[in-house]
Structure formats: C-alpha cells, structure tokens
Chains A and B, each alone.
Chain A
Amino acid sequence: AQKVTQAQTEISVVEKEDVTLDCVYETRDTTYYLFWYKQPPSGELVFLIRRNSFDEQNEISGRYSWNFQKSTSSFNFTITASQVVDSAVYFCALSEGSGGTSYGKLTFGQGTILTVHP
C-alpha cells in the first residue's frame, strides 16, 4: 500500500526566513506522480506542483522550489523568503500510475501547518 509521511506537524517561522517542508513517500509502483497542495483557511486545496516519477529535475517557481530524490523517496518543498500570506496547511500527495490514470485518487500526507509571523 502506498503511504505519504509529512513528519513536521507544525512549523513556525518569521517573515523572510526560508522554510523546507519534508515529504517521504512509499509505493511499489515504478510509475507514479507526486503533488503538493496548499490549503488556506478558506478550505479549498490549491494545486502547487505535479511531478512524475521519471523526472528528477528540481523545479523552481518564484519563491517556491521542489527537490525530488527517488533514492530517498523524498519530495521536499522549500519556500524562500517566506511571507505572511504563505501561512496555510501544505499537503504532499501521491498518485500511482497503473493503467495510465489514478481515477481521481490521491494518497495525502497528514499535512504541515505553516505559520509565518510578521
């Protein structure tokens, strides 16, 4: 069975600090996709990134960057120069690729609550 672990339950930082959210996953599949979602207080999950298991290149998007390492089954997320608006719950998720589609099913980690203080 697949599993996603986000060991950090809560992180508190001061604005402009860099922060890294950890994500470790388990799957038996060789083809899979990893996601990060952000959940602000309004409740909806906001898509941040999707990465497939064949692409280990790190990705940077503005202040966000992601480090994918298959050797350690990790997909960590770093926010550079954090801002108060980054405060939210962040979820890492895994989707297996058997049959070419997951039919809507993602396995989520428990989430990391990030609080950025001014």
Chain B
Amino acid sequence: KAGVTQTPRYLIKTRGQQVTLSCSPISGHRSVSWYQQTPGQGLQFLFEYFSETQRNKGNFPGRFSGRQFSNSRSEMNVSTLELGDSALYLCASSLAETGGIEKLFFGSGTQLSVL
C-alpha cells in the first residue's frame, strides 16, 4: 500500500509569491491534516479536511488555506509569501475512525524556502 505522497519535495519561492503544495493520502484514508515544521516553532497544526470539508483549523493567518477533493487528495496554498513561511510542510492522513483519536500517517513533506 502506498504511503502519503507529497509533491513537490523541494520548492524555492520569493517573497510575495504564492505557492500550492499537494498531498495524496493513503488509499482509503478520508482525513488529511497539514502541519508546519520550523526550527523555532516546531510542529504546528494548520488544518484538517474530511470529505472535502475543513473540520479543524490552527492559529495561522488567512494567507494559509487548503482544500480537499472528492478523491481525498488535498492541496494547501500560501499566498503573499513571507520569509517566515520557510518551513517543512507535512501532510498526514488517517482513517478518521469514529469514537477514537486517529493515528496519523505522515508524508515526507515539502521543504519550502522563501527568499
């Protein structure tokens, strides 16, 4: 069974640009979560999608957005990039079983560098 796939693996952008990152979850997983990892702030939750609906959101500005498609694939978008947006962006998928806390399966991430 294929794991969580994130593309691209590396990305370099300049301030003010926008970027879109892609995530394909494990087959059969309907929940996709996004995390930002930086040396200073560590791992921080961005948002979670289930059946094309955002169910949960972290404390990030509106420049960070996401969506999920009917096949459970997800994209996240960052507009008007700032230097501080440089980070490893990790996507995770889960079965979102009812009645319990999901075990998250993570991808290898997209390393975004903003110059």
Q: When A and B form their complex, what is the total count of cross-chain residue pairs whose Cβ atoms lie within 8 Å?
A: 76
Measured between C-beta atoms, what is the minimum distance from A26 to chain B in Å? Answer: 16
Contact with A along B94-115 (1 / 0, CB 8 A): 1010111111111111010000
A66 CB–B CB distance under 8 Å: no
B88 to A, closest residue via Cβ: A43
Check A33 for interface membership: any CB of B closer than 8 A. Answer: yes
Q: Whole-angstrom distance from the CB of B22 to the nearest CB of chain A?
A: 16
* Distance in angstroms between the alpha carbons of A102 and B47 in the assembled complex: 11
Known A43-B88, A91-B43; contact A101-B100, beta-carbon cutoff 8 A: yes
B43, B90, B101: the one contacting A102 at CB < 8 Å is: B101
> Which 6 residue pairs are nearest across A and B when measured between Cβ atoms?
A104-B48, A104-B33, A103-B56, A45-B106, A108-B43, A33-B101
Please report A residues at the B interface, Cβ cutoff 8 Å.
33, 35, 37, 42-47, 50, 52, 91, 93, 95, 97, 100-111
